[in-house]
Chain A
Amino acid sequence: AQSVTQPDIHITVSEGASLELRCNYSYGATPYLFWYVQSPGQGLQLLLKYFSGDTLVQGIKGFEAEFKRSQSSFNLRKPSVHWSDAAEYFCAVVIKAAGNKLTFGGGTRVLVKP
């Protein structure tokens, strides 16, 4: 079955430290890949997306993600975390053959220590 896995349910990071959130997918073909962020009481906001081309994608708020086909991964990174980055992060995929439906991973909640 198609799936998106975010292995880390919670991550705690100190402000100013780097952050990496993992995402793995299992599909036969390369899916369209997304990272969304959900702040408390807010809707989902798109951080970045990957369709094709350069495997390193830049997004908003200083985030970037790297697509690695060999590892079926699309990990999200930020070099220096700010307190406002505390939120829940969701990796998602769209499979062209399945229609334009986002399939989400379970999410990773990020806590930022001062």
Chain B
Amino acid sequence: GAGVSQSPSNKVTEKGKDVELRCDPISGHTALYWYRQSLGQGLEFLIYFQGNSAPDKSGLPSDRFSAERTGGSVSTLTIQRTQQEDSAVYLCASSLRLALEDTQYFGPGTRLTVL
């Protein structure tokens, strides 16, 4: 079956521009996560969504970062006024439920380069 998909696969932008990254989770998965992978910080959690509950935004590094999940499926991560330190690979994952036992399945990521 189809896995987690992300678009675009690569994004190059200029400092100060806004970017939107998209994630399509596995069909039927109610939990969706965003992580960031960068050379300086490694892999770090950003935010997760579970159904209609309020998202856990505790990992977002600044108020320039936001995310939404429409219709309980597709999610968009938005970075406003991008900075060079935002350059990273942004990974999306989904799981059947928000349960510790449920495996998180990862997408291939979006590589963001801020010039």
Residues of B within 8 Å of A105, CB to CB, are 42
Q: Is B104 an interface residue (CB 8 A)?
A: yes
Bits for B102-114, please: 1 = Cβ < 8 Å to A, else 0. 1111111100000
Bits for B71-115, please: 1 = Cβ < 8 Å to A, else 0. 000000000000000000001010100111111111111000000
Residues of A within 8 Å of B56, CB to CB, are 99, 101
State which size class the interface on B falls in. 20 to 34
Residues of B within 8 Å of A36, CB to CB, are 106
Residues of A within 8 Å of B43, CB to CB, are 90, 92, 102, 104, 107
Q: Are A32 and B59 in contact (CB under 8 A)?
A: no
Residues of A within 8 Å of B93, CB to CB, are 44
Q: In the bound complex, how far is the Cα of B36 from the Cα of A102, in angstroms?
A: 12
Tell me the B37-83 residues at the A interface (CB within 8 Å). Answer: 42-45, 48, 56, 58-59
CB within 8 Å of A: which residues of B? 3-4, 31, 33, 35, 42-45, 48, 56, 58-59, 91, 93, 95, 98-109
9 further interface pairs, Cβ-Cβ under 8 Å (given A42-B108, A100-B100, A102-B33): A43-B107, A44-B93, A46-B104, A51-B101, A100-B33, A100-B95, A100-B98, A101-B56, A102-B104
